[in-house]
Structure 1
Amino acid sequence: MSPSDRLGAGRYITARAIPDRTVSTPHELTTADGATVSGVLRTVPGARTVVSLMHPRQDFTHHVLVPELLARGAAVWTQGTRSVNNDINLLHEQAVLDMAAGQAFLRDAGFDHVVTLGHSGGGTLAALYHQQAALPPDERIAHTPAGRPVDLPGAELPAPDAVVFMAPHPGQGALLQRLIDPSVTDESDPMSVDPALDPYSAANGFAPAPRSSTYTGEFIQRYRAAQRARIARIDAHARQLAAETTAARRRFKRSADAADRRRSLAPRIITVYRTDADPRGVDQSLDPNERPYGSLLGSRPDLINYGLTGFGRLSTPQAWLSTWSATATNADFLRCAPGVTAPALLVELTGDQASFPADTTAMLSSLGSRDLTHRRVRGLHFGGPIAPGEPTGSALAADAIGEWLTHRFPLAV
């Protein structure tokens, strides 16, 4: 098996070395609601502009753009949420509070300009943060979709000076709705299947790798409707479980009964099988761009779909509704975008496997920024090259970002 045939091939890009003059310092921050988050600040002599990289679920400490930005004279702040690399209870509303702690830290550190940079799902988190920071406190989100109080109205949300989006997708929930396999007939059985909706059945148009599959328009229409229906069923289940937890919490407040307290604390975990099944991964005629055969997670989605790796695999009901439900989440790029009014750069990767040309068009149309720049560079979603021997997408994106920053903010020489 060649390296390019591995199921997760292309997800991790080797970064160039950090410049020798870089000073790196770790920091631990306390959020407005008392959580602890951490980040790493890297500076170069003379840096007055800092770029903040953050993702709701992933650790960006060693993101491929870190050395690229430092080499161009910007300081770089990489921060995690309280749910980094363990998103079973990821609430995007809390992630906004986590991001706020980092933004306040950077203002206090004395930088003249703070620029947020959202790659992939970090783009939607950045859009949500910018939207909430621009609102009067009494208009901000006060409860998660499951009804849990969150004190965004009472929190300090420093407004960044600009935002960069690199390969942003429409949000975790919108992404999952595209990827979820609607042929699952029993949520407790990962092998259950409705043959009429099976995306990896030859009878429905699937062809084995690396040949492109061919699905009919009628199949795609039924398939997308069935995906929405499966999400709706999981939504209903999540709301029921969340309501049971809330009811137990309220009973405990009245009764002080230890049994009610235990019921309010007992986790209800939602398991979602088979979430790598967007037909576009294997039928390249659908929403065409320069992407290779395969999905965001690898070259064999017909196998990955049945494996452990996948979006939204395990979550609490509260996290499902806040993050993974396309209909319930507040973290939806297109809904947040009108509230993003700071100068913005959107870097589109032409071989993106998660965000397609129509998505980019919709995002650009929705963003509220009057100073809005769009750049297209050749590369894959995670920043890899489309073809062996080519420059990486991340290097080309870094050139576009560096040029855009240079024209707006002071960078160290």
Structure 2
Amino acid sequence: MPGAKTVVCLAHPRQDLTHHPIVAELLGHHHAVWTQGTRSVNNDIALVHEQALLDIAAGQKFLRMSGFEHVVTLGHSGGGTLFAYYQEQAARTPDERESSTPSGRPTRLAAATMPVPDATVFLAPHPGQGALLMKMIDPSVADETDPMSAVPELDPYHPDNGFATPPQDSAFSAEFVARYRQAQRDRVARIDNRARELVAEADRYRAVTDDIISRRRALAPRLLIVYRTDADLACVDPTLDPNDRPYGSLFGPRPDLTNYGLTGFGRITTADAWLSTWSGLSTNADFVRCAPGVRTPTLFIELSGDQACTPQEAGTMFNALGAADKQHLRLRGTHFGAALTPGEPTGIARAAQAIDSWLSDRFG
């Protein structure tokens, strides 16, 4: 936008946001917009969040060098935690930044120039890739090598446990929910253990520098295949922390089917990427963990039909933010910003209007 002194920056760890619908909306409100990817756009098999922070830092440095007086980050969905993690690290002195990834690889964050943004917008942020997967992973998988294996007592899509065939809503007991959530943590812990075994194996080969076969083995990827990651109970039982969300998950209206398909979070990943991004137990990229380090003026927009972040989670995330100047808005819309009912404004349009007003109050 010619003459603009404020720029809104969009980024996501895994997705290309060039055609994000809020870009046109913000341009329509006469704001300059910058979108950028990371090195893992559209291929997150090797997505290490600490490396993605270096990519964000390069973008932030470029925007400062381009002459913008005010740089505002806008994190939608997984972009929320990416920017929260970036700000937490950028605000630290170089020697206080994370020196290694969860798998033990050096981050090089101490040597990076990491400008701190002037303000922050979170749009339908979820709690982080790992935290999101923690509530979506199917704990009834009995054998990690068999996509059809199941522990019947933990099967979220078995009628004995409270599941009802769509379009009926399911109804899970509090006892099952508690047992299910613990089993999800247990499964993630088991995958963590396997990932660390693979990391240690690669390290052993890497230590042998005078043998070409060992060097090749150190580089050869050992991929984790994680079956069935579309099994959040709240997606089929609307009474669990209710909001306006439609039935179904982020991947469609029949999670009892898509849970068995190829599509899903963290399905194929390196050990390093699993520990850095997808493990809710090991990742540093957790919104609530990072939020106290976000101290710039912050607008937190919750969309009322969000399937990835429920009201209780949104409240916890907002309360954790370290900013003295922070505002929490709850607007109608689905996680991706669509309208909840035909004919009404989209969540994206509502959010853009709110962002425009908020930015105008602070930067004119």
The question of a shared fold, defined as TM-score above 0.5 by the shorter chain, is answered with yes
Unaligned runs of 5+ in 1: 1-43
Aligned residue for 1:170? 127
TM-score (ref. length: structure 2): 0.99
CA–CA distance in structure 1, aligned partners of residues 355 and 258 of structure 2: 33
1:325 partner amino acid:
S
State how far apart, in whole Å, the 2-side matches of 1:400 and 1:349 are. 12
Corresponding position of 2:40: 83
Q: TM-score, normalization: structure 1? A: 0.87
In structure 2, what is the Cα distance between the partners aligned to 1:300 and 1:395? 28
1:387 aligns with 2:334: no
Instruction: Determine which of 107, 111, 117 is the counterpart of 1:150.
Output: 107
| 3-state secondary structure, aligned to 1:153 | helix
Residue aligning to 2:276: 322
Identity %: 63
RMSD, aligned CA: 0.7
**Which of 98, 109, 114 is the aligned partner of 1:141?**
98
Partner of 1:298: 252
For 1:304 and 1:403, the matched residues in 2 are separated by 39
Q: How does 1:303-314 map to 2 (within 5 A)?
A: 303-314=257-268
CA distance in 1, matches of 2:131, 2:85: 14
More helix per residue: 1 or 2? Answer: 2
Distance (whole Å) between structure 2 residues aligned to residue 150 and residue 292 of structure 1 = 40
Match of 2:61 among 93, 104, 110: 104
Distance in 1, matches of 2:100 and 2:203, equals 13
Shift of 1:46: 2.1
Are 2:206 and 1:234 aligned? no
Count how many residue pairs are aligned between Structure 1 and Structure 2. Answer: 364
1:251 aligns to what SS in structure 2? coil
Structure 2 match to 1:3: none
2:25 counterpart of 1:68 = yes
How far apart are the structure 1 equivalents of 2:146 and 2:344? 43
The separation in 2 between residues aligned to 1:191 and 1:100, in whole angstroms, is: 42
In the alignment, the residues of structure 1 paired with residue 204 and residue 127 of structure 2 have an alpha-carbon distance, to the nearest angstrom, of 33
CA offsets 1:57-103 (integer angstroms, 9 cap, x no match): 00001111101111111111100000000000000000000000000
Question: 1:274 is aligned with what amino acid?
Answer: R
Question: In the TM superposition, what is the alpha-carbon distance from 1:364 to its structure 2 partner?
Answer: 1.4
Partner Cα separation in structure 1 for residue 25 and residue 276 of structure 2: 33
Shift of 1:247: 1.3
**How far off is 1:272 after superposition?**
0.3
Say which SS state the counterpart of residue 115 (structure 1) adopts. Answer: strand
User: Which residue does 2:143 correspond to in 1?
Assistant: 186
Q: State yes or no: 1:92 paired with 2:49.
A: yes
Determine which of 158, 175, 178 is the counterpart of 1:201.
158
- For residues 69 and 391 of structure 1, the distance between their equivalents in structure 2, rounded to whole angstroms, comes to 15
Letter in 2 for 1:201: H
Could you list the per-position Cα deviations for residues 366-386 of structure 1 after superposition, in whole angstroms to 9, with x for gaps in the alignment? 000000011110000000111
Secondary structure of 1:374's aligned partner: strand
Q: CA deviation at 1:144?
A: 0.6
Task: Write the deviation string for residues 159-183 of structure 1: whole angstroms up to 9, x where unpaired.
Answer: 1000100001100000000000000
Question: Partners of 1:98 and 1:139 in 2: how far apart?
Answer: 19
- 2:314 corresponds to which of 351, 355, 360: 360
Give the C-alpha shift of residue 49 in structure 1: 0.5
**Does 2:223 correspond to 1:269?**
yes
- The SS at the match of 1:370 is coil
One-letter amino acid of the counterpart of residue 236, structure 1? N
Report whether the alignment pairs 1:279 with 2:236: no
1:245 alignment partner in structure 2: 202
Structure 2 gaps of 5+ residues are: none
1-side partners of 2:195 and 2:354: how far apart?
Answer: 42
Give the distance between the partners of 2:296 and 2:354, measured in 1 at CA. 18
**Aligned residue identity for 1:100:** A
**CA distances 1:248-292 after superposition (whole Å, capped 9, x unpaired):** 11122xxx1101101101100000010000110000011100111
